[in-house]
Amino acid sequence: MAGKKADGTAGDTGDGAHESIWQRMERPARPPRAALTHAQIAAAAVEIADAEGLDAVSMRRLAERLGVATMGLYRYVRGKDDVIELMVDAVYAEEAGVGDGGDWREVLRVSALRLRALILRHPWLVETTAHTGLLTPNFVARTDRLLASLDGLGLDADTAMTVIGTVSAFVTGATTARIRMAGLMRKEGAEEMDDLRTLYSSRMRWLLESGRYPAFERYIRGGVRKDDDDWQFELGLESVLDGIAARLGI
């Protein structure tokens, strides 16, 4: 078994255990001619996950949706991890080409807004790294595009990638918090945030009347944009971008 190459990438393991579905897809198809396409499999799986969550995507459910035998799916994918890779790649294609051109800050800002919208359309996306990596063509193309926007700024490769990762981490964290709040509202049967506040009013009253959290109380009583997710997100994003620009002098 080969080890790590000089450039930091892994050598060939020889057993194909970590060979990606993308590598297998580029091989010549074996007869008989395929009745399904990987795009059809991805689209069907995305529909299930959007409606019911990632856990609802199983080989059996997918086969039913596509009108094929479950075992027939294994001609195209090895299992659920392959399916998730197809799903991730399909949804990242929705952002392809968006934000090209302009200076680095505008490219990263537009891409961040698009990533947020992408995650809100497909909330299961934040769970996918627990199942498989993100080395799919469209995800890597997005990363490549963002790195290219930093060319010519005098940043070394590690710093450039950290800039991209920092912005993406902010987007993912902020958007995941919104998704979790939406999940809590569904659980409690609340249609609006005010409904949730009513349900939790006794807890909040106890906390505030304890006198132990004066700064938090000032926010609760004085904050007027508690439900303005767009404003909160954009202020946070601009602050991250300001910090990057100031720290790196770009």
Quick check: 28 pLDDT over 70? no
Quick check: 18 pLDDT over 80? no
Q: b or e along 25-54 (b: 16 or more beta carbons within 10 Å of the residue's beta carbon)?
A: eeeeeeeeeeebebeebbebbbebbbeeeb
How do residues 215-240 score in pLDDT, each as one tens digit? 999 999 999 999 999 999 999 999 99
pLDDT at 154: 96
pLDDT, mean of residues 2-30 = 61
- Asked whether the whole model's pTM tops 0.85, one would answer no
How do residues 139-194 score in pLDDT, each as one tens digit? 999 999 999 999 999 999 999 999 999 999 999 999 999 999 999 999 999 999 99
Confidence of residue 50 (pLDDT cuts 50, 70, 90): very high
pLDDT at 24: 77
% of the chain with per-residue pLDDT over 70? 86
Q: Are 166 and 240 in contact (CB under 8 A)?
A: yes
pLDDT at 23: 82
pLDDT, mean of residues 79-102 = 84
Arithmetic mean of pLDDT over the chain: 89
pLDDT, mean of residues 134-143 = 90
Selected residue with higher pLDDT from 78 and 95: 78
